Amino acid sequence: MATKTKEQTKETTEEERRTILEMARKVLLAGMGAVALAQDEVEAFVNKLIERGEIAEKDGKNLIDDLREKRKKETKKAEKEVNKRIEEVLERLNVPSKADIEALNQKIATLTEKIDELKEAQAQAE
């Protein structure tokens, strides 16, 4: 039975991460497409009602505007939820966040400064 090396495990994790992100992207695009299509259909329906005189133009425009506003709110809500889920998945896969990387970069910069100071102090002592 072959065991995976750390390198193979790291590659597998990276591949899984890419796969998950790609799947999430496709789901989001499909959802956005469905919403856009539904909105187009609703607007066409409302415009037909206006043309037939079944509803006033002002009422039709208000209805379309209300639907657009509701769609924007729902899209933002869905976007937040998807981002939250993606972050949870990345956390489970042990993928560092941008904040984690920035914190490490700050620590590295601080350590580099301290090393430089020690080198200068050592050079002056000699």
More confident residue, 5 or 37: 37
Calculate what percentage of the chain has a pLDDT beyond 70.
88
Of the CA atoms within 13 Å of residue 18, those in its CB half-sphere come to 6
Give the pLDDT confidence of 19-77 residue by residue, as tens digits.
877 887 788 778 777 777 788 888 888 888 888 888 888 888 888 888 888 888 888 88
How far apart CA 52 and CA 65 sit, in angstroms, is: 20
Give the pLDDT confidence of 107-126 residue by residue, as tens digits.
999 999 999 999 999 989 87
